[in-house]
Amino acid sequence: MTGSVQAMESLLAVDGIAFGYRNKPVLHDITFTVERGSLCGLLGPNASGKTTLLKCINGVLNPKEGHIRVNGEAVSGMTRREVARLMAVVPQQMSLAFSFTALQMVVMGRAARLGALKLPSAHDRDEARAAMKELGVESLAERQFNELSGGERQLVLLARALFQETPILLLDEPTSHLDFRNQYRIMDVVRDMTHAKGLSTLVTLHDPNLAARYCTHLVVLRDGHLHRSGTREAVFERKTLEEVYGMEVFVQQIPGGPSVVLPGRSMEAP
């Protein structure tokens, strides 16, 4: 295997993934890796295939071609349970048909490690509370999940992912539907978790500025093709962003801070 050296360093390897619904191809030959301890942003305009790619990675969708490997082992050969011990997913904004408390939600992160006829123990609940405390949301434990604000829900789901204790964390647009302050709050938590636990984190984002601020690596999709991937410094530049979003942009370095991108005169659609 040509990528064996690379596979040892990178925890999550996306290797030649292609996917389509019936006759409509969505993803073509996507290849990149996410290393341990890195926070990788997945950027691209609407309908570029970000969410689909995330679902292929966590095995909810089966790719037509290619493999997802974790530590060199293909995910396609694993049971749901085994996959859930490797990667935790924070879904896009969700509301529940039935209301569970925040704590009950977090406790469900234990499902993949629980015996078939076992129930979560008091010890599991204590640990779930500890995970909530780590993210500063232990006060929400007894509240109904459906009554929480968008930001609080996202933090509870992050606590669930933390409690799932996986080396890989996948987030599907965790900041959509959130107000300005909460977007940064959530991404702060994601960055801190990634560093503290040495996770490999992959996050889809709408806002390139959030990506520039938080991500160490970037993967850019366009029409289901991998457009660019690499370190933030290499990828976050004017030409790439203009090609991907189809508009004129300026990229500026804030003194002592991250780069930011601002729209220029908007371009005609090609």
Partner 1 sequence: MREHRLTFAVSLLLLAASVALALVLGRYRIEVGALVDILVTTVSGGDVDPSLSGSSLVLWSVRLPRVVAAVMVGAALSVSGAVFQSLFRNPLVSPGILGVTSGASFGATLAFFFAAGSATVVELSAFVWGLIAVTLAYQIGRRSGNTVTSLVLSGVIVSALFTAGISFLKYKADPYQQLPAMVFWTMGSFNSIVWADSIRALSIIIPGLIVLYLFRWWLNPIALGDEDAMTLGIDVRKARMIYIVVGTLIVAASVSSCGAIGWVGLVVPHMARIIVGSDHDALIPFTALLGGTFMLVMDTLARSLPGGEIPVGVLTALLGAPFFAYLLVTNEKRGGWQN
Binding site for partner 1 (CB under 8 A): 55, 58-60, 79-81, 83-85, 87-89, 91, 94-101, 104, 108-109, 111-112, 114, 116-120, 164
The answer to whether 190 touches 39, Cβ cutoff 8 Å, is: yes
Residue nearer to partner 1 on the CB measure, 57 or 220: 57
Residue nearer to partner 1 on the CB measure, 171 or 249: 171
The answer to whether 3 touches 9, Cβ cutoff 8 Å, is: no
β 168-172/10-21 pair status = unpaired
| Phi-psi domain of 255 (left: phi exceeds 0; alpha: psi -120 through 50; beta: other) | beta
Q: Taking the complex as a whole, how short is the minimal distance between the CB of residue 35 and partner 1, in angstroms?
A: 22
Q: Taking the complex as a whole, how short is the minimal distance between the CB of residue 185 and partner 1, in angstroms?
A: 23
Residue nearer to partner 1 on the CB measure, 54 or 261: 54
Q: Taking the complex as a whole, how short is the minimal distance between the CB of residue 176 and partner 1, in angstroms?
A: 16
Residue nearer to partner 1 on the CB measure, 81 or 239: 81
Q: Taking the complex as a whole, how short is the minimal distance between the CB of residue 187 and partner 1, in angstroms?
A: 21
The answer to whether 162 touches 134, Cβ cutoff 8 Å, is: yes
What's the rounded Cα separation, in Å, for the pair 70 and 166?
Answer: 12
What's the rounded Cα separation, in Å, for the pair 22 and 7?
Answer: 32
Residue nearer to partner 1 on the CB measure, 122 or 262: 122
Exposure of 94 in the CB half-sphere (CA atoms within 13 A) = 19
Q: Taking the complex as a whole, how short is the minimal distance between the CB of residue 168 and partner 1, in angstroms?
A: 11
What's the rounded Cα separation, in Å, for the pair 251 and 237?
Answer: 7
